[in-house]
Amino acid sequence: MKIAVCVKQVPDSWAEKKMVDGRLDRESVDAVLNDLDEYAIEEVLRLVEPLNEAAGSDAHTVTLLSMGPDRASEAIRKGLSMGAHDAILVSDPALAGSDALATSKVLAKVIADGGFDLVFCGTESTDARMSVIPAMLAERLGWAHLTFAGAVRVDLDGKKVEIDRMTEFGVETMSASLPAVVSVIEKINEPRYPSFKGIMAAKKKTIDTRSLASVGIESSAVGASASWSRVEGAVARPPRDKGVKVEDSGDGGEKLVDFLMEKRLV
């Protein structure tokens, strides 16, 4: 079985972010592997490692797939040090400004050409937070998409994948024939910390960096000019008010009600 995990390098969640000309300034902040993608990697490793151990070989492989600048290889190395076998990074100056449609086009092409049986994603990235890439991949590939997975089971003989789908109303069990796209939530597991051995091993693992030409996509099909969405403007969130401190000298309840009425909350 060949499994791909889509991983994205994102600005550190705690970093102060700013927009420049409608784009997030990624250069000026520390970058990390998207949190939710770590859960996807962990889940896939938990599926594959026992199978490989039983087979005594790396018959089942885990490939990380990312689209981003060259520096995204730093985030990829973290995933490799967790235990993924290898990685593909699509990096090309023409990709700058690509929106979700363009991003999914590139990722879907690599997946289609790679002969994968399963693709795992996080449910969302912590920067753009559109939560659309997994669905777009499934649509472009013509594969089933199982979303919000809180548990995943793969039936190799039946070529099926089954998930527990966590919703606000309860848990749904859903299954699909392979190939399929699965997106996971953060409650699915506790991602491992890379071990020293894993970090050293990751240094020798292959990151296959591909240009758009080698992926087989014209530069005119991606990037800002080919994107369907455009950021028209962005304003910084206003600083928070200090809040109102009410001294209770017997009339605290009244003051509280007055405050709620003034805010039209009652």
Site for ligand FAD, rule CB under 6 A: 6-8, 23, 34, 36-37, 65-68, 96-100, 103, 107, 121-122, 124-125, 127-134, 227, 229-231
DSSP annotation of 161 reads E
Residue 51 or residue 231: which is nearer to ligand FAD going by CB?
Answer: 231
Of the pair 20, 260, the CB lying nearest ligand FAD is at 20
Cα–Cα dist 128/98, whole Å? 12
By C-beta, is 130 or 174 nearer to ligand FAD?
A: 130
Closest approach, Cβ 161 to ligand FAD, in A, equals: 17
User: Tokens at residue 265, please?
Assistant: 């909350």
**Side-chain half-sphere exposure of 236, counting CA atoms within 13 A:** 8
Alpha helices in 21-145 (DSSP H): 35-55, 72-82, 100-114, 133-141
253: enclosing H helix or E strand: helix 252-262
Q: Specify whether the CB–CB gap between 120 and 4 falls below 8 A.
A: yes
How many residues comprise the chain?
A: 266
Closer CB to ligand FAD, residue 73 or residue 159?
73
Residue 2 CB, nearest approach to ligand FAD (Å): 17
At 2, which helix (H) or strand (E)?
strand 2-6
Residue nearest to ligand FAD (CB): 122
Shorter beta-carbon distance to ligand FAD: residue 7 or 163: 7
Q: How far is the CB of 229 from ligand FAD (least distance, A)?
A: 4
Indicate the residue among 139 and 246 with the shorter CB distance to ligand FAD.
139
Please state the closest distance from residue 99 (CB atom) to ligand FAD, in A. Answer: 4
* Least distance CB 49 / ligand FAD (angstroms): 20
Rounded to the nearest whole angstrom, what is the least distance from the CB of residue 1 to ligand FAD in the complex?
19
Residue 157 CA to residue 229 CA, distance in Å, equals 42
Identity of the residue, 37 or 43, whose beta carbon is nearer to ligand FAD in the bound complex: 37
Min dist. Cβ of residue 168 to ligand FAD (A): 19
- CA separation for the pair 90, 95 (Å, rounded): 9
> 3-class DSSP state for residue 63?
strand
Phi, then psi, of 229 in degrees rounded to 5? -110, 150
Side chain identity at residue 215, one-letter code: V
